Amino acid sequence: MNLRHIALLMALTWGSTGCMSVDERRAQFLDRRATVEVTTARGQPVILNLVASNDGPARAGISYIRTEQWKLALDQLRIATDQKTHDHGAWFALGAVYEKTGHMNQAYDAYRNAFFLRNDADYEEAWRRIRVKHGSNASDNDASHDD
C-alpha cells in the first residue's frame, strides 16, 4: 500500500465517521460528568466530581445523578459495578449516591473499592470521611437501610 492509498483510506475513514468539533467534544465530556454535594463530620460541604467511564450503565447513572434521581442512579451504578468490577469511577459514583441517600455502610464499601482499584486522593478522602463521619465501624450505622 503506497502513501496515496493510505491518505485516501484516512480521508474515507474521517468522512464516514465525521470529525467532532471542539464544542461537540466538550458537550460529550460534560455529558459524562456530575457533581454531588455531601458534608463532612463537621458539617462542611464537599463537592464530589463524578465521571462516567463508558457509555453504558455508568454513564446512565451519572445522568440520573445530575437530575437527582437517586434510585435510578443507584440501579444503573449497581449494574455498572456488577458488569465491570474494576471500574473505579463507577464505584466512586456509587459511593457518592449511597452517601447522599444515607446508606453509610454501602458508601464505605463502595469508596473503599474505588480506592483499592485506583489509589486516588479523592477516593481516599471520601473513604476516610465516611469513617470519621460515622465512626470506624461504618457497617453498623445503617444495617436497616437495605433497599
pTM of the model: 0.71
* Nearest-angstrom CA–CA distance, 92 and 98: 10
Q: What one-character DSSP code corresponds to residue 144? A: T
* 48-67: pLDDT as tens digits: 888 776 678 998 998 899 88
Within the chain, where are the H helices?
3-17, 22-31, 57-66, 70-83, 88-100, 104-117, 121-133
**Confidence bin at 146 (pLDDT 50/70/90):** very low
